[in-house]
Amino acid sequence: MHSVVITGTGLHQPPHTITNAELVESFNRYVEQENARHADAIAAGTRAPLQPSSVEFIEKASGIKQRYVFEKAGILDPQRMYPRYQERPDDQLSMMAELAVAAAQQALQQAGKRGADIDAVLCAASNMQRAYPAMAIEVQQALGAGGYGFDMNVACSSATFAIEQAVNAVRTGSARCVLVVNPEITSGHQAWNDRDCHFIFGDVCTAILVERADTATAPVQWEVLGTRLATQFSNNIRNNFGFLNRSEDSDPQARDKTFRQEGRKVFKEVVPIAAAHIEGHLADLGHAPAAVRRYWLHQANEGMNQFVIKKLVGEADRERAPLILDEFANTASAGSIIAFHKHRADLAAGDIGVICSFGAGYSVGSVVVRKR
């Protein structure tokens, strides 16, 4: 069994920003036009009027102040309320693969590796652009990597679940260097016209390089002490978009074909699951939660992260558990990887950290690392 290290990460950031003020202005125009269109039904009491949003509501509910997106105009168009992308021909690199390659190149540079050094690619994200061929195999070809590639989806926990697969492959010798990419175009599954969640998501792509310690040459390396995954079925976060929709004669624009959640139930149920999962994982590795220098948590909701940290160490501390969702919003599986990417340089050799994601499924995944 080989020792395993993380030697590089990458972050590909979209070119466009949507502030809360811009989002609210667009959403409230949509509310006005819909209420005007259904004025008779609203007056008759057979239809409830849509309620406007506000910057204060968004920040209080989530802690989010803005989000990055790959396409802005379609999202802010009250007549459309979702992004507008140009379909690409089959012989052109697909959008998700393009983003993954950009993030992967950063991770490779950090690690001092080339595409040819990779012998496995895992594309892990909350949605895939197509059913097949696998996005990972397209990324593999674009980078000149060898070995194999496959896609996997565990919603917001996709990245940590993929890291465990990568770690196991390296530890057992079936691969020497594994690339995990997380192209999260969450704007495509966001219900931008639903007040309860129209502010939640942002786009991004992250990458993580996992390899054998005895062949790693990166100046900074993070030893993987352990990984742990858990799932528990719940309908409280759900998206019914899928390949059988056509055969079911269902409306592709129906509300259930995009992200939806029972937010209060999720908050109440997921926080204790995540905290107990982390505490148990650390205990089995011989570490107390207070001994962990940094927690890179899933970035869904500021209050949720504060509760998790309070349960683990007694007080909420942004230095111990950095927040990136105020800038990036919820980027699904990429959130904890962004936190790790941007907030690890100040740790000293021997410091321990935990990368943890939690979300739909329910699912929770943790990766305990130590700086070498």
Which residues belong to the active site? 156
Please tell me the distance from the alpha carbon of residue 230 to that of residue 224, in angstroms, as a whole number.
Answer: 18
Please tell me the distance from the alpha carbon of residue 260 to that of residue 123, in angstroms, as a whole number.
Answer: 23
Please tell me the distance from the alpha carbon of residue 278 to that of residue 289, in angstroms, as a whole number.
Answer: 8
**Strand, coil or helix: 253:** coil
Please tell me the distance from the alpha carbon of residue 155 to that of residue 294, in angstroms, as a whole number.
Answer: 24
CB 173 within 8 A of CB 160: no
DSSP labels, 25-80: HHHHHHHHHHHHHTHHHHHHTSSPPPPP--HHHHHHHH---EEEES--HHHH-TTT
Between the CA of residue 43 and those of 31, 32, 40, 53, what are the distances in Å?
16, 15, 5, 21
Contacting residues for 176 by C-beta, under 8 A, at least 6 apart: 117, 119, 170, 211, 212, 215
Contacting residues for 323 by C-beta, under 8 A, at least 6 apart: 63, 299, 302, 305, 339
Please tell me the distance from the alpha carbon of residue 341 to that of residue 242, in angstroms, as a whole number.
Answer: 32
CB 356 within 8 A of CB 340: no
CB 353 within 8 A of CB 346: no
Q: What is the DSSP letter of 330?
A: B
Angle at 302 between CA 207 and CA 257, to 5 degrees: 65
Residue identified by tokens 């352990």 is 226
**364 bridge partner residues:** 230, 358
Please tell me the distance from the alpha carbon of residue 356 to that of residue 366, in angstroms, as a whole number.
Answer: 4
List % helix, strand, coil for the chain (3-state, nearest 5).
40, 20, 40
